[in-house]
Amino acid sequence: MNANLPSDPRLEHLAEAPIPTPYGVFRVVVFRYLDPEAHPGLSDEHLALVMGDVRNAEDVPVRVHSECLTSEVLGSLKCDCKEQLEAAQQAISEQGRGVILYLRQEGRGIGLANKIRAYALQAEGADTVEANERLHLPVDARQYDVAAAMLKYLNVRSIRLMTNNPEKVESLEQLGIPVIGRIPVHIPANVHSASYLSVKRDRMRHTLPDELPPSDA
Q: What is the set of active-site residues?
A: 140, 142
User: What number of residues does the chain have?
Assistant: 217
The number of C-alpha atoms within 13 Å of 38 and in the hemisphere containing its C-beta is 23
How many Å apart are CA 110 and CA 122, to the nearest integer?
Answer: 16
CA distances from 78 to 41, 195, 214, 217 (A): 22, 9, 12, 11
- Kind of pairing between the strands at 98-103 and 60-66: parallel
**Which amino acid does the sequence have at 89?**
Q
Per DSSP (E only), the strands in the chain are 11-21, 24-33, 45-51, 60-66, 98-103, 159-162, 179-183
How many Å apart are CA 108 and CA 200, to the nearest integer?
Answer: 12
How many Å apart are CA 42 and CA 40, to the nearest integer?
Answer: 6
> 135 — alpha (psi -120 to 50), left (phi > 0) or beta?
alpha
CA angle 101, 173, 145 (to 5 degrees): 50
